[in-house]
């Protein structure tokens, strides 16, 4: 099979859709702003457009922003699912390897932790492999499509379409719990158009909190402990203090949000097609941005677009 994935692309690009970086001022969590529906104009900044570091071809990308097909959990390796193929690219050497090719169906989600990679298929299978040895370690027949996978040491959480969250201990090779409906860190769930739920990963059967909010895009704020950011098709970014503060701060935008990524800096990254209250625009994709991911040192960001491009950006001034 010709491996034309991740070849440098020099195609002409129309500036249609944007990848957005939001700068969160410290006052965004202040008591005075928690009840505001729209931030005041003084918080808005002039947009600055930056140029990408590298453009790579990503042919046959699945045109579904709900599928988790981009993973940069390792500083050196980027994993990407393209239809039936799972690729690994060494960012330092530029070498791309085909790890697996499905005989039937397509990839719907993937996640890595160390040498372990877990991926799901449109046939309802969940597969665990060793990326170094390219060996199958475990497989599960879920009979459901998995949209999101999250590791927590040996605990694997899968957000499925019909069966909610499956909570699996890889050491015991069995399901432990079936809980609410996308999982992140100490178990935040989304997937329901108008609901965000929070569970304790140690006791996932117990619901801690529940919010009426479109939570298709979720992230924990890495600068502020227990602060949760959510966004979705309701065109709103909502920020909660999940411990004792249930009056969230909301920012209205004029586009649906598909993903949010938080770093240790004041920057919050969102995938969309317009910018609101931001200071940097990454504007190079011809079509919608499907997924984004940052390197482990948070110096770079890559974006996967429906225009079959994987674009790398520098986050260092």
Q: Do 15-63+216-317 and 67-215 agree at the fold level?
A: yes
Residue 65 in this model has a pLDDT that exceeds 50:
yes
Beta bridge partners of 301: 294, 313
Q: Which residue has the higher pLDDT, 103 or 242?
A: 103
Each residue of 207-241: pLDDT tens digit?
A: 777 777 777 788 888 888 888 888 888 888 888 88
What was the pLDDT predicted at 81?
95
pTM above 0.85, yes or no: no
What's the length of the chain? Answer: 317
Q: Binning pLDDT at 50, 70 and 90, where does residue 100 land?
A: very high
Both tokens of 60, joined, read 């046959």
Sign of the alpha-carbon dihedral angle for 9, 11, 17, 18: positive
Report the 3 state secondary structure along 218-248.
EEECCCCCCEEEEECCCCEEEEEECCCEEEE
Domain ranges of the chain: 15-63+216-317, 67-215
Class of domain 67-215: mainly beta
Backbone angles phi, psi at 161, to 5 degrees: -70, -45
Residue 28 in this model has a pLDDT that exceeds 70:
no
Class of domain 15-63+216-317: mainly beta
Each residue of 144-180: pLDDT tens digit?
A: 888 888 887 788 888 888 777 788 888 876 666 676 6
Q: Decide: 24 and 260 in contact? Cβ < 8 Å.
A: no
**Alpha carbon of 132 to those of 87, 99, 135: distances in Å?**
13, 9, 8
Contacts of 130 (CB under 8 A, 6+ apart): 115, 116, 117, 137
Each residue of 271-311: pLDDT tens digit?
A: 564 333 356 777 788 888 888 888 888 888 888 988 899 98
């Amino acid at each position: 099979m010709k491996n034309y994935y991740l070849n440098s692309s020099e195609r002409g690009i129309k500036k249609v859709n944007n990848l957005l970086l939001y700068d969160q001022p410290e006052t965004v969590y202040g008591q005075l702003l928690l009840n505001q529906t729209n931030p005041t104009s003084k918080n808005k900044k002039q947009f600055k457009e930056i140029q990408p570091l590298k453009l790579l071809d990503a042919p046959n990308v699945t045109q579904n922003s709900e599928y988790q097909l981009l993973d940069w959990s390792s500083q050196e390796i980027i994993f990407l699912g393209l239809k039936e193929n799972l690729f690994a690219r060494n960012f330092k050497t530029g070498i791309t390897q085909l790890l697996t090719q499905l005989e039937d169906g397509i990839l719907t989600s993937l996640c890595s932790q160390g040498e372990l990679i877990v991926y799901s298929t449109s046939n309802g299978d969940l597969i665990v492999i060793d990326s170094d040895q390219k060996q199958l370690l475990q497989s599960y027949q879920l009979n459901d499509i998995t949209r999101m996978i999250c590791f927590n040491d040996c605990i694997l959480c899968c957000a499925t379409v019909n069966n909610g969250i499956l909570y699996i201990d890889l050491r015991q090779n069995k399901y432990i719990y079936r809980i609410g409906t996308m999982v992140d860190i100490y178990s935040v769930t989304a997937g329901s158009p108008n609901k965000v739920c929070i569970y304790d990963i140690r006791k996932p059967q117990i619901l801690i909190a529940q919010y009426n909010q479109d939570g298709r895009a979720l992230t924990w704020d890495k600068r502020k402990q227990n602060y949760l950011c959510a966004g979705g098709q309701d065109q709103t970014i909502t920020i909660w203090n999940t411990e004792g503060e249930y009056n969230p701060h909301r920012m209205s935008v004029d586009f649906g949000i598909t993903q949010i990524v938080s770093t240790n800096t004041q920057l919050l990254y969102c995938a969309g097609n317009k910018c609101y209250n931001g200071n940097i625009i990454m504007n190079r994709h011809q079509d919608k941005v499907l997924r984004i991911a940052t390197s482990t040192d948070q110096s770079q960001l890559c974006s996967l677009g429906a225009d079959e491009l994987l674009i790398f950006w520098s986050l260092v001034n």
